[in-house]
Amino acid sequence: QQQVKQSPQSLIVQKGGIPIINCAYENTAFDYFPWYQQFPGKGPALLIAIRPDVSEKKEGRFTISFNKSAKQFSLHIMDSQPGDSATYFCAASSWRSSASKIIFGSGTRLSIRP
Amino acid sequence: KAGVTQTPRYLIKTRGQQVTLSCSPISGHRSVSWYQQTPGQGLQFLFEYFSETQRNKGNFPGRFSGRQFSNSRSEMNVSTLELGDSALYLCASSLGSGSANEQFFGPGTRLTVL
């Protein structure tokens, strides 16, 4: 019940395309859903996060869509660029819990072809 | 403001040895968390320290331990190393301990156990 299932494991998209990464959770106590971006040789960095009181959040070219009834959320990257090539992790936690009690998805290795 | 720093960046040890990894959080951050990242298991939470006290602990054996100093710097120690301990060890710092506090990750220490 603590798992966050992420798919696909890897994704190759042409420049300008819209990669979509999906995540699903089971624990209904989760109420904070961040996405992290990790480049080779670097630690993960917070990209965008959403709470279940909204169904969509946009920050620049990155959009999170959230479906509370299905317990699913996804990341869309508009007008993708080669510089977006990285590993993306979804995550979930409870707002009231410690920042460290975040459950991470298994990651998606995204490659944007020029 | 300097980011989270971790030393050393790379480490090679043999089975049975012990290792100490160091993490310096962002100035002013009082919470430090440690994660183990492997291709097979993804990002797994090890433990969290806040104001020199361990607040949370993940499901790792007692060979994994840590501490935090009064200046918020943290160390983690792994004793009796096993081959399966080969991983990227990430440290993250945040202002406080609640999940409302964004975690900032360091670049990690790549540990290889031979």
Tell me the pLDDT band of B100, cut-offs 50, 70 and 90.
low
Q: Which residues 36-75 in chain A show a CB within 8 A of chain B?
A: 41-46
Q: What percent of chain B has pLDDT over 90?
A: 80
pLDDT at B98 over 80: no
Give the integer Cα–Cα distance in Å for A76 and A61: 8
A105 contacts on B by Cβ (under 8 Å): 42
For residue A100, the model assigns a pLDDT of: 58
In this prediction, residues B8-27 reach a mean pLDDT of 97
Check B42 against A94: CB less than 8 A apart: no
Tell me the pLDDT band of B74, cut-offs 50, 70 and 90.
very high
For residue A99, the model assigns a pLDDT of: 57
Closest in A42, A96, A99 to B101, CB measured = A99
Check A105 against B48: CB less than 8 A apart: no
Cβ contacts from A onto B, under 8 A: 72
In this prediction, residues B6-30 reach a mean pLDDT of 97
For residue B40, the model assigns a pLDDT of: 80
B8: cis peptide before it, omega within 30°?
yes
For residue B33, the model assigns a pLDDT of: 93
Check A99 against B103: CB less than 8 A apart: yes
Which phi and psi angles does A70 have, rounded to 5°?
A: -90, -10
What are the respective helix, strand and coil percentages of chain A, to the nearest 5? 5, 55, 45
Question: Which among A98, A104, A108, A109 is the top mutation candidate for probing chain B, defined by the most B β-carbons within 10 Å of its own β-carbon?
Answer: A98
